């Protein structure tokens, strides 16, 4: 009986490990929302050197963080499911007192 339980647990772990790998592989290329923000941050900054720093999905809109230039200056962008973006702005403290 214990042997069966151990085999079941090992099978469950192996199955979950496969799921995690699939998610990791799927996340290697930017989502459509991330691509939209990369595109529009490039246009706003006139700098093609952009990289995805991270994103947080929401039904209301995906919050995307983009690094610009060789120093990867942080910018934010909100992307919507229709491919539009909004609220593109630098997150760098630009001399605020």
Are 24 and 38 contained in the same domain?
Answer: no
**Nearest-angstrom CA–CA distance, 50 and 55:** 14
Tokens standing for residue 60: 């209301």
pTM value is: 0.68
Spatial contact of 37 and 77, defined as CB atoms under 8 Å apart: yes
Domains identified in the chain, total number: 2
Is the pLDDT at 16 greater than 70? The verdict is no
**12: number of CA atoms within 13 Å, CB side?**
6
Q: Note whether 47 and 63 are same-domain residues.
A: yes
Tell me, yes or no, whether 63 and 94 share the same domain.
yes
Domain that holds residue 20: 1-29
Cα separation, 20 vs 16, whole angstroms: 6
Nearest to residue 52, comparing CAs of 44, 39, 43, 60?
Answer: 39
Task: Verify that 61 and 90 share a domain, yes or no.
Answer: yes
The model's pLDDT over 35-91, given as tens digits with 9 standing for 90+, comes to: 999 999 999 999 999 999 999 999 999 999 999 999 999 999 999 999 999 999 999
């Amino acid at each position: 009986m214990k042997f069966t339980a151990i085999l079941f647990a090992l099978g469950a772990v192996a199955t979950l490990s496969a799921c995690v790998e699939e998610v990791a592989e799927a996340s290697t290329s930017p989502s459509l929302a991330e691509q939209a923000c990369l595109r529009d941050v490039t246009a706003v900054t006139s700098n093609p050197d952009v990289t995805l720093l991270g994103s947080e999905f929401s039904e209301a809109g995906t919050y995307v963080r983009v690094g610009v230039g060789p120093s990867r200056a942080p910018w934010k962008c909100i992307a919507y499911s229709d491919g539009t973006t909004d609220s593109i702005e630098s997150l760098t403290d630009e001399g605020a007192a």
